[in-house]
């Protein structure tokens, strides 16, 4: 009697048979007598790419399996190619990738009689002469086994949503076929989506981004012979010379294409994709951060992506989330919205109650949105006024909204590409909703009161939290709370800074460049160079700044030390250095309120270094160039490359003369040992410049050449210090201004013992302690003679 096998037994038998004829030891090659199924894989010779069955790691992808290629050594299973993107299989164990009898690569499933996917090569040779090989480039090729140079098919010609180095985005001039990248339908579905990129199908030499293969929402501009007119950064001459990859545009009799390559001696993982959001983006893998870093995105304005937010939503460039549903609507696919895929748009909370087009319903009302760029697809109507336009819309069940911008407009069926334009367009639109979605005026007033009360409570809590955080920030911390410093590779910092392309300025011992971390945090990267004691200075700066934290001190985030290359990564200060705001004519003039805030903040930072840390730290080079300003003009003392650590058991530290002429204390010149009072002197000289907004030498009395600080000291004694400043500066702040002048004069006294500590300076500036009239410092008269020719030039003999 025949024995029937259960479905489970049949699957097990198939698996056992497949194992007997499957690629062994993770080979990179599949031959005619082998099959790949279950968790079997092909792995490229260098181990960087793997091919096998996979499921997208997104909720809702259960039961859908695909044959694909992904990175083998990078976490997250980032796929770069999918074979059966439109026909998933339900079970990888009972499905397999094989070379068919006619020499094609096919995917078979026991649930279908025909292949789920095939390379579809016509007039091919028999299977026994064909092999499939996964190359180190991530390209899967089908070859003649006896002649590896003959490639019958390659996955690079079947490009999906990912563009790898060596692949081409091309147009065949003979057939007119454009090789185009197409986005996934959503994060968990590789089915072709709505967005694509490729050469202009009309024949021009530009690349275009398309929605639904019809609407162009971005173009690169035509190739000029050196670059695309709209994307000059992708030209061969502008390729990052030290980044390890180059771009190339080729046009010949057979085809036109654009490609990029990675140098053979550089280990870089990079890819470009057309995302489900419609953005074309390029990434590089950052090993130190274990993250993909974006180094190219188009279009720059996300809201210019057609349909990115889907229907019945609004796009906002400056909001934390670019897309938001309109009032009365909810996300169509909330899970996709969490994954920044908003293309499914929004649906109504309450359906409209319109029954037919002949009756004006009273159960629908309109919600007004001001300052918008109107959606696409508007229809012009013949209306006498705005009320007439509203009635026309209400009388048509398909009408979704109306507007008036010189012409009366209505929208039927779809609301696509509505954009917030606060501060820009003054257009407004009325969105049709069920009456229950728009509260009456009484309810509205109740909500307004709730918002006001809630806002007051939140504000009070916020002030309390800020107060405690501020108090806590004064406690010296050694890399606690912010985590350890990040050790970057030099190649990492090349990509973070776009190969050091955006220069922020030059500090002591190096140049500073702008960079962006994987989490979009902007940083300043200091490239140390051109000095003999670089390693010593580097270690001093890392050990000093990395172990302290204060709201008025710049924070070190990481560093790099590779051979002779040494770099430091700091938090980014958007308002740059203080000297630009004081001395550059093109900068905005700082108000006294801001100047006072800066003076007090610097004093607090120095007081922390001198008096509150475990080890006293002398900065040794206080000047406006070493004071950075954040977005709110909060000052941060920077550049500790010259700092000296001084243990609490010692009152002085012997060091060679360094710093900047114009800010140097007398003890530097005389060769005496240096204490924290050298910083106090430099602070005083800088405070004069903060007060006046000019360099001390430039603000000197031209007829006598008297240095400005000396003029201030003399006018203080004569009770006429206000005459040195404009009425705009002294108006309403004369007491604060005179107090600051006295502090500056006390700070620059000849004798160290006569100068206040920075802690005392803080108390005086904040009005907590009275200050006496200072004497005129004699040293400044001597300094004026020697400084007029120097004009504050740097003196760094240790270089």
Query: Using CA atoms, how far apart are residues 478 and 442, in angstroms rounded to an integer?
Result: 56
The answer to whether residues 150 and 173 belong to one domain is no
The answer to whether residues 566 and 594 belong to one domain is no
Residue 189 forms part of a structural domain:
yes
pLDDT tier at 142, thresholds 50, 70, 90: very high
Q: Report the CATH number at residue 559.
A: 3.30.200.20
527 is in an annotated binding site: yes
Q: b/e per residue, 752-787, with b = 16+ CB within 10 A?
A: beebbbbbbbbbbbeeeeebeebebbebbeebbeeb
Q: Is the pLDDT of residue 389 over 80?
A: yes
Residue 21 has a pLDDT of: 46
Query: Using CA atoms, how far apart are residues 582 and 598, in angstroms rounded to an integer?
Result: 12
The answer to whether residues 106 and 212 belong to one domain is no
CA angle 479, 481, 486 (to 5 degrees): 50
Query: Using CA atoms, how far apart are residues 44 and 36, in angstroms rounded to an integer?
Result: 15
Q: Angle of helix 677-692 relative to helix 734-747, nearest 10 degrees?
A: 140
Check residues 570 and 439 and name the one with the higher pLDDT. 570
Residue 642 forms part of a structural domain:
yes
Q: Is the pLDDT of residue 61 over 50?
A: yes
Residue 581 forms part of a structural domain:
no
SS3 per-residue string spanning 394-449? HCCCCEEEEEECCCEEEEECCCECEEECCCCCCEEEEEEEEHHHCCCHHHHHHHHH
Residue 15 forms part of a structural domain:
yes
Whether cis (ω within 30° of 0) applies to the bond prior to 781 is no
pLDDT tier at 784, thresholds 50, 70, 90: low
Residue 264 has a pLDDT of: 66
Residue 567 forms part of a structural domain:
yes
Tell me which of 571, 601, 620 is where a domain ends: 571
* Active-site annotation, residues: 621
- 509 Cβ neighbours under 8 A, 6+ residues apart: 528, 529, 530, 531, 534, 537, 641, 799
Residue 443 has a pLDDT of: 47
The answer to whether residues 665 and 757 belong to one domain is yes
Q: If 0-12 CB within 10 Å is exposed, 13-18 middle and 19+ buried, where does residue 682 land?
A: buried
How many folded domains does the chain comprise? 5
The model's pTM is 0.59
The answer to whether residues 567 and 612 belong to one domain is no
The answer to whether residues 550 and 528 belong to one domain is yes
The answer to whether residues 152 and 169 belong to one domain is no
pLDDT tier at 455, thresholds 50, 70, 90: confident
Give the β-pairing of 486-487 and 556-562.
parallel
Tens digits of per-residue pLDDT, 249-278? 899 999 999 998 887 666 788 999 999 999
Tell me which of 514, 541, 571 is where a domain ends: 571
Domain of residue 656, residue span? 589-787
Query: Using CA atoms, how far apart are residues 20 and 17, in angstroms rounded to an integer?
Result: 5
Which residue carries 């579905």 as its tokens? 189
The answer to whether residues 144 and 188 belong to one domain is no
Residue 798 forms part of a structural domain:
no
Query: Using CA atoms, how far apart are residues 221 and 451, in angstroms rounded to an integer?
Result: 48
The answer to whether residues 288 and 349 belong to one domain is no
Q: Are 185 and 275 in contact (CB under 8 A)?
A: no
The answer to whether residues 151 and 168 belong to one domain is no
Query: Using CA atoms, how far apart are residues 464 and 451, in angstroms rounded to an integer?
Result: 20
Residue 71 forms part of a structural domain:
yes
SS3 for 630?
Answer: coil
Q: Which two tokens stand for residue 558?
A: 């990481």
Q: CA 65 from chain center: how many Å?
A: 34
Alpha-helical regions (H) of 626-695: 666-670, 677-692
- For the chain, helix, strand, coil in percent to 5 are 25, 30, 45
Residue 577 forms part of a structural domain:
no
Give the β-pairing of 408-412 and 378-380.
antiparallel
The answer to whether residues 703 and 643 belong to one domain is yes
Q: Are 637 and 552 in contact (CB under 8 A)?
A: yes
Residue 197 has a pLDDT of: 96
Alpha-helical regions (H) of 474-591: 490-496, 534-545, 578-583
SS3 for 291?
Answer: strand
Q: Are 118 and 104 in contact (CB under 8 A)?
A: yes
The answer to whether residues 172 and 224 belong to one domain is yes
Q: Report the CATH number at residue 766.
A: 1.10.510.10
Tell me which of 409, 438, 467 is where a domain ends: 438
In percent, the amount of the chain with pLDDT more than 70 equals 77
């Amino acid at each position: 009697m025949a024995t029937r096998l259960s479905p489970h037994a049949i699957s097990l038998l198939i698996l056992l048979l497949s194992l007997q004829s499957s690629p062994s030891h993770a080979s990179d090659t599949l031959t005619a007598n082998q099959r790949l199924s279950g968790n079997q894989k092909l792995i490229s010779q260098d181990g960087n790419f793997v091919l096998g069955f996979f499921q997208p790691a997104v909720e809702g992808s259960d039961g859908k399996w695909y044959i694909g290629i992904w990175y083998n050594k990078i976490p997250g299973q980032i796929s770069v190619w999918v074979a059966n993107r439109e026909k998933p299989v339900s079970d990888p164990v009972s499905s397999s990738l094989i070379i068919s009898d006619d020499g094609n690569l096919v995917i078979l499933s026991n649930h279908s009689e025909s292949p789920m996917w095939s390379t579809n090569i016509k007039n091919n040779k028999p299977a026994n002469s064909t092999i499939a090989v996964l190359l180190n480039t991530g390209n899967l090729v089908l070859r003649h086994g006896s002649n590896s140079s003959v490639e019958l098919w390659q996955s690079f010609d079947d490009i999906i949503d990912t563009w790898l180095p060596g692949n081409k985005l091309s147009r065949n001039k003979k057939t007119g076929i454009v090789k185009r990248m197409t986005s996934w339908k959503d994060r968990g579905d590789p089915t072709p989506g709505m967005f694509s990129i490729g050469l202009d199908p009309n024949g021009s030499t530009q690349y275009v981004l398309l929605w639904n293969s019809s609407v162009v929402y971005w173009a690169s501009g035509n190739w000029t012979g050196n670059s695309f007119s709209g994307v000059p950064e992708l030209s061969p001459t502008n390729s990052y010379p030290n980044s390890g990859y180059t771009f190339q545009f080729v046009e010949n009799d057979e085809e036109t294409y654009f490609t990029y390559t990675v140098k053979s001696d550089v280990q870089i993982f990079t890819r470009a994709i057309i995302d489900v959001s419609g953005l074309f983006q390029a990434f590089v893998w950052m090993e130190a951060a274990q993250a993909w870093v974006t180094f190219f995105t188009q279009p720059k304005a996300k809201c210019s992506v057609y349909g990115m937010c889907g229907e019945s939503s609004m796009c906002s460039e400056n909001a934390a989330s670019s897309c938001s549903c309109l009032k009365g609507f909810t996300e169509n696919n909330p899970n996709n919205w969490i994954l920044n895929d908003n293309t499914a748009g929004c649906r109504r909370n309450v359906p409209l109650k319109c029954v037919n087009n002949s009756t004006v319903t009273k159960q629908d009302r309109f919600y007004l949105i001001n300052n918008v760029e109107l959606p696409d697809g508007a229809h012009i109507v013949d209306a006498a006024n705005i009320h007439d336009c509203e009635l026309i819309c209400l009388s048509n069940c398909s009408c979704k909204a109306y507007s008036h911008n010189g012409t009366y407009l209505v929208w039927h069926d779809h609301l696509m590409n509505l954009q917030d334009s606060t501060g820009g367009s003054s257009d407004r639109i009325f969105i049709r909703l069920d009456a229950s979605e728009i509260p009456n005026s009484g309810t509205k007033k109740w909500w307004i009161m709730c918002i006001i009360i809630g806002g007051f409570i939140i504000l009070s809590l916020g002030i309390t939290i800020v107060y405690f955080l501020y108090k806590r920030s004064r406690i010296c911390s050694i890399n606690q709370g912010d985590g350890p410093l990040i050790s970057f590779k030099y190649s990492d910092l090349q990509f973070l800074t776009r190969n050091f392309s955006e220069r922020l300025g030059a500090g002591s011992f190096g140049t500073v460049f702008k960079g962006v971390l994987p989490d979009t945090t902007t940083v300043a990267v200091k490239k140390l160079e051109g000095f003999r004691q670089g390693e010593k200075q580097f270690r001093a700066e890392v050990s000093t700044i990395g172990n302290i934290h204060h709201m008025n001190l710049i924070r070190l985030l990481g560093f790099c030390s590779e051979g002779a290359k040494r770099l430091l990564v700091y938090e980014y200060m958007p308002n740059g250095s203080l000297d630009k705001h004081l001395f550059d004519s093109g900068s905005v003039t700082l108000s006294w309120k801001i100047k006072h805030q800066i003076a007090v903040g610097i004093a607090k930072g120095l007081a922390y270094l001198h008096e509150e840390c475990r080890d006293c730290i002398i900065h040794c080079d206080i000047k406006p160039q070493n004071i950075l300003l954040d977005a709110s003009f909060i000052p941060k003392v920077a550049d500790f490359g010259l700092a000296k650590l001084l243990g609490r058991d010692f009152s002085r530290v012997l060091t060679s003369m360094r710093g900047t002429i114009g800010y140097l204390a007398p003890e530097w010149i005389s060769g005496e040992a240096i204490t924290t009072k050298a910083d106090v002197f430099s602070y005083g000289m800088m405070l004069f410049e903060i007060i006046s907004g000019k360099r001390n030498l430039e603000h000197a009395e031209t007829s006598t050449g008297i240095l400005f600080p000396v003029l201030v000291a003399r006018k203080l004694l004569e009770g006429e210090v206000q005459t040195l400043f404009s009425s705009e500066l002294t108006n309403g702040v004369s007491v604060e201004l005179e107090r600051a002048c006295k502090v500056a004069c006390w700070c620059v006294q000849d004798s160290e013992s006569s100068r206040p500590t920075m802690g005392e300076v803080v108390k005086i500036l904040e009005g907590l302690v009275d200050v006496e009239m200072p004497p005129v410092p004699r040293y400044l008269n001597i300094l004026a003679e020697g400084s007029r020719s120097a004009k504050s030039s740097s003196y760094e003999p240790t270089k």
